[in-house]
Amino acid sequence: MPFEEKLTWVNASVTLMVAAVYAWIVGGRVAGSHIGDVSYQIPLLVAIGAMIALTIIGTITVSIATAIGRAVRAEVTGEGTAADAVADLDRKDERDDHIARHGDRIGYYVSSGLMLGALALSMLRSDQFWIANAIFGALVIAGLASSMAKIAAYHRGF
């Protein structure tokens, strides 16, 4: 699996996991409460921070695991040295760049479309809870769509 695809899986997994935990926590507060009284601000800020932190931790973990895997494979197969196998761990080429741009474009279209929904909510003077969560949801869905588009491109051809 290309290194860039591994990082895309990290992004997608972290986004999905954190969003699910956030939805579970805040969703539990919505039941039986007036929507204007639901405290979502701290969980939302923590969720955004957790996404950033977990993505960094995941990237470092995947990098170390990939480096160890390549070094071991080089030693076992005798194809080059372990140092050479690890030296260009983060090598990217034009295909990686094309796929990244393709995924980012998909994410942009999805987030733009969903942001119209958030805009409509604000025009309708909906509660801040719905507007904030619509924006967060749009970013989560756009991020997942971008990641899925990249992974599909790596597998189906680009």
Of 12 and 118, the one with the shorter C-beta distance to another protein is 12
Binding mask 135-154 for another protein (x = CB under 8 A): -----------------xxx
Binding mask 58-87 for another protein (x = CB under 8 A): ---------------------xx-------
68/54 Cα distance (integer angstroms): 21
Whether 106 and 145 have beta carbons less than 8 Å apart is answered as yes
**Where does this chain touch another protein (CB under 8 A) — which range of 26-34, 52-60, 93-101, 128-136?**
93-101
As measured in angstroms, the least distance from the Cβ of 9 to another protein is 14
As measured in angstroms, the least distance from the Cβ of 95 to another protein is 4
**Under 8 Å CB-to-CB from 83, ≥6 apart: which residues?**
71
> HSE (CB half, 13 Å, CA atoms) of 2?
18
Residue 65's Cα: distance from chain center in Å?
A: 20
> What 3-state class would DSSP assign to 21?
helix
Interface residue with another protein among 56, 92, 101, 122 (CB under 8 A) is 92
Asked if residue 96 binds another protein (CB under 8 A), the reply is yes
Is the sign of the CA dihedral 70, 76, 77, 78 positive or negative?
positive
As measured in angstroms, the least distance from the Cβ of 13 to another protein is 20
